[in-house]
Amino acid sequence: MSKDLRYFFEISYLGTGYNGWQTQPNGKGIQQVVEDALSKLFRRKVAIVGSGRTDTGVHCAQQFFHTDLSENFKTQDLIHQLNSFLPRDISIQSIRPVQPEASARYDAIERTYVYRITLKKNPLLLGRALHVYKPLDLQKMQEAANLLLGEKDFECFSKIKTDVNHFICRIQKAHWKKKQDDLYFTITANRFLRGMVRAVVGTLLDVGTGKITVKDFGQIIRDKKRSKAGMNVAPEGLYLESVKYRKGIFLRK
């Protein structure tokens, strides 16, 4: 048997039928489904480490996980075989060898999320976008979003029970875009806190509906209290769009 090599697997999924990424004792997580498929394929227990955790119902266009494999395989054959084992709402997009100590979680340098809102009732977007029927002031929502940029303490947007050592994140992009009857909020940062994006969007919607002002939004960040921020919006509109790593981590394409 060959020496173990570490690989990054690129994965996408529709999160509607799952209890998020992480394996759950009383529910179905994406991680568990993928580990079961890999274990059946290789006829041994295979554990994986994801680039991060997504909540119940959150979708993913691009995420990565790593695992160590000693078996010889052709990449495209393994992708095809693994996808045939996985349900239709989960797909492996690529497999790439990486440096032996590379971590899909800790070596990620940038993550991007997109939150989708539909302003018109659309049954084709059921479970894939949040329907908002109230009028929204997009200009004020963008003014408030601009206050997120930079390196700041975002404890106000974090779940109260969390195991992080600090709440500092560096946000590089926070932008609203309207396309016909849909709104898209794109946010990019070096890291995100648990429940952060959904809390940010919920609070920005409070700005858009006039419940709070742009000035209030800035004060909420400075106060660092979750109780002063808005409610978490539904997970159905949230997509993990991309995860980036430094180029040197990959051994070859």
Distance from chain centroid for Cα 234: 14
Q: What is the 3-state secondary structure (H, E, C) of 173-209?
A: EEEEEEECCEEEEEEEECCCCCCHHHHHHHHHHHHHC
* Residue 191 within any structural domain of the chain: yes
Q: So what's the pLDDT on residue 41?
A: 94
* Residue 253 within any structural domain of the chain: no
Q: How far apart, in Å, are the Cα atoms of 32 and each of 49, 91, 231?
A: 11, 14, 29
Digit-by-digit pLDDT tens for the chain (253 residues) are 467 899 999 999 999 989 889 877 766 899 999 999 999 999 999 999 999 888 889 999 999 999 999 888 899 999 999 999 999 999 999 999 999 999 999 999 999 999 999 999 999 999 999 999 999 999 999 999 999 999 999 999 998 777 778 999 999 999 999 999 999 999 999 999 999 999 999 999 999 999 999 999 999 999 999 999 999 999 999 999 999 998 889 987 5
Q: CA 241 to CA 63: how far, in whole Å?
A: 8
Quick one: DSSP state of residue 135?
-
Q: CA 123 to CA 210: how far, in whole Å?
A: 28
Range of the domain at 195: 109-241
Same-domain check for residues 202 and 237:
yes
Instruction: State the CATH number of the domain containing residue 73.
Output: 3.30.70.580
Same-domain check for residues 155 and 221:
yes
What are the DSSP calls for 31-49, one per residue? HHHHHHHHHHHHTS----E
Same-domain check for residues 237 and 117:
yes
Q: Which residues 6+ apart lie within 8 Å of 125 measured at CB?
A: 116, 118, 131
Same-domain check for residues 50 and 138:
no
Q: So what's the pLDDT on residue 163?
A: 72
* Residue 247 within any structural domain of the chain: no
Question: Which of 85, 106, 127 lies at the terminal end of a domain, its last residue?
Answer: 106
Q: So what's the pLDDT on residue 1?
A: 47
163 in active site: no
Same-domain check for residues 89 and 204:
no
Look at the chain and report how many structural domains it folds into.
2
* Residue 189 within any structural domain of the chain: yes
Q: How far apart, in Å, are the Cα atoms of 132 and each of 64, 166, 185, 241?
A: 31, 33, 14, 22
Distance from chain centroid for Cα 121: 25
Same-domain check for residues 86 and 189:
no
Same-domain check for residues 114 and 189:
yes
* Residue 252 within any structural domain of the chain: no
CB distance 130 to 189 below 8 Å: no
* Residue 251 within any structural domain of the chain: no
Same-domain check for residues 72 and 183:
no
| Residue 78 DSSP SS3 | helix
* Residue 115 within any structural domain of the chain: yes
Instruction: State the CATH number of the domain containing residue 167.
Output: 3.30.70.660
Q: CA 96 to CA 7: how far, in whole Å?
A: 5
Q: So what's the pLDDT on residue 3?
A: 76
Same-domain check for residues 222 and 121:
yes
CB distance 115 to 185 below 8 Å: yes
Same-domain check for residues 146 and 91:
no
Tokens in use for 52? 């991060």
- Interhelix angle 138-146/214-223, nearest 10 degrees: 30
Same-domain check for residues 125 and 47:
no
Which of 4, 36, 55, 153 is catalytic? The answer is 55
Same-domain check for residues 137 and 35:
no
Question: Which of 51, 72, 106 lies at the terminal end of a domain, its last residue?
Answer: 106
Question: Which of 106, 136, 170 lies at the terminal end of a domain, its last residue?
Answer: 106
**For residue 143, which of 217, 202, 196, 211 has the smallest C-alpha distance?**
217
* Residue 250 within any structural domain of the chain: no
